[in-house]
Structure 1
């Protein structure tokens, strides 16, 4: 794929590089805030599954960098949590930890000096397989883990935002969230492709049921499944959740292919004196899963290993062919011998 191919196919990917965002997903959080106003009056925020850091970057610019009052800026605390490390951001505390562990929740609260978060966001998703039912199940388990730790660190009246996959059983998730939040809505940002089942659940005014005790235990993974499930049973009612499209509807279409020079598209862009120039990604992953493969390719070790593997495969083929040939010859001889023996009997 050429350097400009993806810039043509994905306008938000191109804009993210031009405007200095780490990933195109930054526009999703910005567009959610345009409609839902999740940043209003917030200064203690947690970003779960944060790497590579585009949502943390939005939080940093919106809440920390843009704050001119030094005293107000000092009280802004943003904690980014992920198993993978990421490049630093101004005003963002990085915590490399597992969101399914109680120790991670305790560390987050310690960064807030014993206070609880006002906003928790999560843009995490598993590696999709193409099996939609399985992908939706894996995403629901990730949302479950994100909400479980949120119940430990979110103050009453707080807000929780998480990526979801809108599939067959999404109404169950809505009903569960309605038990803990007074306002629940489903948002589809303009920068999220219409062809994707991705959406974001925005839960406001956290108010857990009376007597509820936060827990990180997942009954599905527990050895004493029946006992864990019995502790979590309770009445459940269906919930009707409003669906909202976020972002300027007259803006760019995330599913459309745009020319590199936008002046060709409309005269409106001529007044901006816009000229296309290819830009690299602002912040690539610091510790990607494919790092070792890249190093091997750079040192020509990958090609060497592949050549050795081909040679081993080719060296084995003749032996197999000889064995197969000998077996077929033996079969023919056996058939001839049987035929001769039958004639002798006759």
Structure 2
């Protein structure tokens, strides 16, 4: 009964405002070349790209999770963590170390890290990987629930983002749908006191998501780590202290 009510609530939220008229935008070759040049210049001058190489992280996004966890302590030894949209795996790498899933600390509690993505994820020691699977599909989530068994998650992480269309309103709508998909799943699989972390983009929808997340978590806040580029509209919403389901 609880699961039915939760599903109904999130179904309504994910469909609201879904009617959107747009036209197809065909970028010019010139704009693509300029964009690629700007991206390459930014990468070469980005200290976090170099740090990722130094510490053997698969991409710079690892430091976003590191910053957030250093401040809010959402990943602890022995925790069960689910990383949604994990490819190429940098957040999974961080989670494995923080919860001791690879037993790097022989005397510490061993955690569990589960990573899922539509793309290929090369093996990460200490992580259970579900690749070539769309997290947003019910069958994929059922497989994760079955894998968890009697365990419950201490943290659900989502660095998921949709493929950009170039249409701002449509892109924001699509990423919000991913946020609600992760939130709904977190509510179903989390233990009391757990955390959820999702990526989103700046916009009015942030306030709606924050309000809805507050129904299930004691503390909800918007976070912008230093390693998230200042010119990026990317933000993260963190919910801590899952209230549990009554």
TM-score for the superposition, normalised by structure 1: 0.56
Counterpart CA distance in 2 for 1:190 and 1:55 is 16
Give CA-to-partner distance per residue, 1:160-191, whole Å, 9 cap, x none: 00101121232111111111111101110000
The structure 2 residue matched to 1:61, chosen from 94, 97, 109, is 97
Moved over 4 A (4+): 4-7
Aligned pair 1:159/2:195, yes or no?
Answer: yes
The structure 2 residue matched to 1:174, chosen from 210, 216, 225, is 210
Q: Match for residue 109 of structure 2?
A: 72
Alpha-carbon distance, 1:49 to partner: 0.5
Q: Match for residue 126 of structure 2?
A: 91
Gaps of 5+ in 2: 1-36
Contact 2:96 2:113 in 1 (8 A): yes
Aligned pair 1:30/2:66, yes or no?
Answer: yes
Contact 1:108 1:153 in 2 (8 A): no
Aligned pair 1:132/2:168, yes or no?
Answer: yes
Counterpart CA distance in 1 for 2:245 and 2:149 is 26
Counterpart CA distance in 1 for 2:213 and 2:189 is 16
What is the RMSD computed on CA atoms of the aligned residues?
Answer: 2.2
Of 37-46 and 105-114, the range deviating more from structure 2: 105-114
Counterpart CA distance in 2 for 1:18 and 1:71 is 26
Contact 1:105 1:153 in 2 (8 A): no
Q: Match for residue 243 of structure 2?
A: 207
Contact 1:80 1:95 in 2 (8 A): yes
Aligned pair 1:118/2:192, yes or no?
Answer: no
Structure 1 residues 23 and 209, CA gap change in structure 2 (3 angstroms): same
Counterpart CA distance in 2 for 1:162 and 1:199 is 9
Alpha-carbon distance, 1:66 to partner: 6.1
Q: Match for residue 224 of structure 2?
A: 188
Give CA-to-partner distance per residue, 1:6-25, whole Å, 9 cap, x none: 55332212221222110000
Contact 1:177 1:184 in 2 (8 A): yes
Contact 2:115 2:128 in 1 (8 A): yes
Gaps of 5+ in 1: 211-346
Counterpart CA distance in 1 for 2:94 and 2:109 is 18
Alpha-carbon distance, 1:141 to partner: 0.8
Q: Match for residue 143 of structure 1?
A: 179
Counterpart CA distance in 1 for 2:192 and 2:171 is 31
Aligned pair 1:104/2:160, yes or no?
Answer: no
Counterpart CA distance in 1 for 2:117 and 2:49 is 23
Contact 1:100 1:149 in 2 (8 A): no
Q: Match for residue 230 of structure 1?
A: none
Aligned pair 1:43/2:54, yes or no?
Answer: no
Alpha-carbon distance, 1:157 to partner: 1.6
Give CA-to-partner distance per residue, 1:135-155, whole Å, 9 cap, x none: 111110111111122222112
TM-score for the superposition, normalised by structure 2: 0.77
